[in-house]
């Protein structure tokens, strides 16, 4: 379930409820791959490459959506994907079956902020284009810290607003499109991460033109 909600932000960010998120992704499920999948392709591949390079086999993909990333994972990884959208998950399950992706162990309908997994269930957790869609992004970070083993990796790919510079101007120019596209030009790193997180995070700009960034944390 990746960021196409179209909800406007109010203050630091709007509170989105699960029912509205599910309804939005139900509408976008069939067309998602053809438009957002293309725009986000490079950042998605970079995130999966980082997952593949990380130690450990057990991987949680949060907001697995239609399963665009699933064929990119190493066969040595064991993937569990979760999403709030039943319609998105149906497409992901079809993809797994059609492509014979035996490294995908489970695709489950689940709230990323309150999963049913036990503590330390995974070696790696990755959330791609999800941060600005969940009701409470800091709760998402806390939940992924809970389900990842100590020493494991937690990765996020998302758009995070800049404070200045040419990308800041691009974000503002695109702001009128935020409602239909789910583009939140004022969603910043500090809306999601505490200062302690940012102090130890590795942050990498992704193409196109740095609109997406990859944030890597060690549990």
Residues 3, 61: Cα–Cα separation, whole Å: 15
Query: Of the candidates 151, 152, 158, which has an alpha carbon nearest to the alpha carbon of residue 137?
Result: 158
Do 107 and 96 touch, CB atoms closer than 8 A? yes
For 179-209, how does the pLDDT look when each residue is reduced to its tens digit (9 = 90+)? Answer: 444 445 567 788 788 899 889 899 998 766 5
How far CA 159 is from CA of 54, 186, 192, 211, in Å, comes to 23, 10, 12, 6
Q: Six-digit token pair at 139?
A: 């709760």
pTM here is: 0.76
For 161-178, how does the pLDDT look when each residue is reduced to its tens digit (9 = 90+)? Answer: 766 555 555 555 555 544
Residues 144, 137: Cα–Cα separation, whole Å: 11
Rounded to the nearest 5 degrees, what angle is found at the Cα of 69, between the Cα atoms of 130 and 87? 65
């Amino acid at each position: 379930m990746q960021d196409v909600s179209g909800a406007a932000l109010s203050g630091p960010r709007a509170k989105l409820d699960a029912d509205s998120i599910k309804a939005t992704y139900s509408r976008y499920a069939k067309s998602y791959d053809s438009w957002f999948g293309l725009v986000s392709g490079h950042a998605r591949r970079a995130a999966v490459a980082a997952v593949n390079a990380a130690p450990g086999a057990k991987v949680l993909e949060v907001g697995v959506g239609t399963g665009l990333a699933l064929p990119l994972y190493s066969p040595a990884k064991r993937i569990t994907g979760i999403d709030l959208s039943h319609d998105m998950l149906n497409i992901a399950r079809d993809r797994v079956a059609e492509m014979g992706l035996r490294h995908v162990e489970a695709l489950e309908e689940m709230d990323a902020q309150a999963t049913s997994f036990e503590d330390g269930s995974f070696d790696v957790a990755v959330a791609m284009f999800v941060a600005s869609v969940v009701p409470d992004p800091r709760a998402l970070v806390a939940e992924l810290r809970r389900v990842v083993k100590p020493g494991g990796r937690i990765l996020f790919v998302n758009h995070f607003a800049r404070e200045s510079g040419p990308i800041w101007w691009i974000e503002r120019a695109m702001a009128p499109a935020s409602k239909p596209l789910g583009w939140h030009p004022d969603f910043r790193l500090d809306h999601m991460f505490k200062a302690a997180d940012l102090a130890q995070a590795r942050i990498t700009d992704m193409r196109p033109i740095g609109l997406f960034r990859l944030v890597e944390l060690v549990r």
